[in-house]
A and B are shown apart, each in its own frame.
Chain A
Amino acid sequence: MQFLKLVLRNALRHRLRTALTLLGLVVAILSFGLLQTVVSAWYAGAESAAPTRLVTRNAISLVFALPISYRDQIRAVDGVRAVSHATWFAGIYQDPKNFFPQFAIEPRTYLAMYPEYIVAPQEFTAFLRDRKGAVIGRKLAGTYRLKVGDVLPLRGTIYPGTWEFTVRTIYDGVDAKTDTSQMFFHWEYLNETMKKRSRSHGDQVGVYVVDVADADRVAEVSHAIDALFKNSLAETLTETERAFQIGFVKQTEALVVAIQVVSYVVIVIILAVMANTMAMTARERLAEYATLKVLGFSPVYIAALILGESVAIAAIGAAIGIALTFPVSDWFAAQVGTLFPVFKVSGKTVMLQVLCALGVGVVAAVVPGRRAATVKIAEGLRAIR
């Protein structure tokens, strides 16, 4: 009790100094949490990928399409349970900054392959009946205040012209990690329109999504699909959905690494601040520590006092910083709109925040704790006044 009393009262002794150190800690832990959440958001697509889903794309580049005729051939490959396809639309809603993913899909097969998207059955039927109907995610609907029945006009970039869609249903995610910032519409609508404009632009899809019956056979099925189209006009590259998503992230890997580095630099800076605070504190109290030693308290007790104070300050800073991470990340997510489909503070991030704060508390106390524990009593007593 005496120990805890001393630790807590010492921590609150220089209120301004402790408050400023706490402020620094809170900002550092909050920044670290936010930056780590940005990194997690970057990998969210890969994290939510199903192990049995493959993506088959044009081997030359993703910008080149694949013929719709491949669908039946892929379906015939041994081990394939279902095949669907998706085509990147890249339309602009009102303003180019209003980015969100739009895919032209074959609705029945595609949504059956993604059980994480939950759609109301009646609304889904209405969507199937409407060639210009669209399915949008809950987050997307919230961001642009869209509701069922609203008209959603998009200005095409890859597919020129103004395309009008009617929101027929809003899907929810099965959990917080599910991306609900997307829009899906009928590939048939896109295909028919494009065919009317030019025959050569018709009957093409962006990628095939392949559902494999056995997760252990994904490599074998991938090879089988690619072998099927070897030496054709549009050779394919098949990979797991996770690898496909990571491929996207890799394009911006330098940025992600930079964010990671900055998040840890913030921790190193606050470690320096905290170490300085504890060094000043210990130096000022050298005579008190010497007095405690005179009274019979051990050097370990003295070091533990400094460690306890440092960890207590770090723990309070971490608690406030972590508590603030949630509302601030929600605010941040609202500001960036659908740029990050999933922007949630994960348990891993909170754990990292706790570990960093604990690390800062412990490391900052090492040098002053050692000094106070080992200083000779007579020398310590001379430090008074």
Chain B
Amino acid sequence: MNETAASLPLIDIRNLAKSYRRGRQIVPVLTDITLKVHAGDFLGLMGPSGSGKSTLLNLIAGIDKPDAGQILFDGVDITRLSETELADWRAGTVGFIFQFYNLIPVLTAFENVELPLTLTRLTRRERREHVEAALALVGLSDRMPHYPSELSGGQQQRVAIARAIIADPRLIVADEPTGDLDRHSAEEVLKLMDRLSTDLGKTIVMVTHDRRAADQAHAIMYLDKGELSTAVDVHERSLR
């Protein structure tokens, strides 16, 4: 099948399988997953606990390796990259948002957001400009010198979002980004994610249990017992 450049998926997952070893027992987590995500898509992944959502997210983000199958990101099979190559790829391509924010407690909001930029060749002044812009985007310009312990959960997650977008990644992966937040904070975070998708054109893959959160996505896919309920082209579905 010939695909035009415009319709080529940014993420093309083919026959992905992953299992974990528990003692002598091998527990399959994902079996024969096939999925396409196009640039600019906002995909919500739902499913019961233990269904393999986070595992799939980790594989897409290049922080875990599959047992079988391919993950083509913009045509590059990331399953074949070495650990060092993957680290570089992640640093330049993926922004991460975690359920528990995963901020470094001894660094201020400014320093946490600046962290990924310390791996780049940007000057100190350039880094400052980038960080200030990112924190302004998430509405935390006045919280730059604050440590995570001095911020509310919602504010911490917004700092984490600023950190996720600071290096201008093409893909943002979010693992239960509203899972630890109250309703109001969750809504703020979801609005922000929507802006990342609609205004900045970021491709987002989000794992969530929260139906309201999933509704923000352009498409929702269900994962149960290691299998996607429907292996449909998300792009097509979102267009519908």
Binding stretch for chain A, among B96-104, B136-144, B222-230: B96-104
A230 within 8 A of B: no
Q: Is A129 an interface residue (CB 8 A)?
A: no
On whether the beta carbons of A10 and B106 are closer than 8 Å, the reply is: yes
The answer to whether B90 and A294 touch across the interface, beta carbons within 8 angstroms, is yes
**Chain B 45-71 per-residue mask, 1 if CB under 8 angstroms from chain A, else 0:** 000000000010010010110000000
Known: A376-B64, A377-B63. A6 touches B104 (CB 8 A): yes
Residue of B nearest to A12 (CB): B106
Is A13 part of the binding interface, using a Cβ–Cβ cutoff of 8 Å? Answer: yes
Q: Is the CB of A296 within 8 A of B102?
A: no
CA distance A2 to B104 in the complex (A): 12
Asked if B106 contacts A296 (CB within 8 A), the reply is: no
**Those of A10-29 within 8 Å (CB) of chain B:** 10, 13
A291-B90 Cα distance, complex, nearest whole Å: 12
Complex interface: stretch among B8-16, B111-119, B188-196, B202-210: B111-119
Residue of B nearest to A376 (CB): B64
Please indicate the chain B residues that have their CB under 8 angstroms from the CB of A288 in the complex: 102, 104-105
A384 and B100: CB pair below 8 A?
yes
Interface residues of A in 276-296 (CB under 8 A from B): 287-288, 291-296
Interface size for B (C-beta < 8 A) is 27
What's the least CB distance linking A383 to chain B, in Å? 11
Query: Whole-angstrom distance from the CB of B113 to the nearest CB of chain A?
Result: 11
Mostly helix, strand, loop or mixed at chain A's interface? Answer: helix
Write out the residue numbers on chain A whose beta carbons fall within 8 Å of the beta carbon of B115: 2, 292, 295
**B169-208 vs A: 1/0 string, CB under 8 Å?**
0000000000000000000000000000000000000000
Q: Does B236 contact A (CB under 8 A)?
A: no
User: Are B58 and A378 in contact, CB atoms less than 8 angstroms apart?
Assistant: yes
Say whether, besides A9-B107, A296-B87, A378 and B102 are in contact (CB < 8 Å). Answer: no
Given contacts A295-B116, A296-B119, whether A287 and B88 have CB atoms under 8 Å apart is no
**A234 interfacial contact with B, CB 8 Å:** no
Decide: A13 and B106 in contact? CB cutoff 8 A: yes
A5 interfacial contact with B, CB 8 Å: yes
- Check A97 for interface membership: any CB of B closer than 8 A: no
The CB with the most chain A CB atoms within 10 A, among B84, B104, B163, is that of: B104
| Nearest A residue to B90, CB-CB | A296
Most buried by A among B63, B88, B96: B63
Query: In the assembled complex, which residues on chain B have CB atoms less than 8 Å from the CB atom of A377?
Result: 58, 63-64
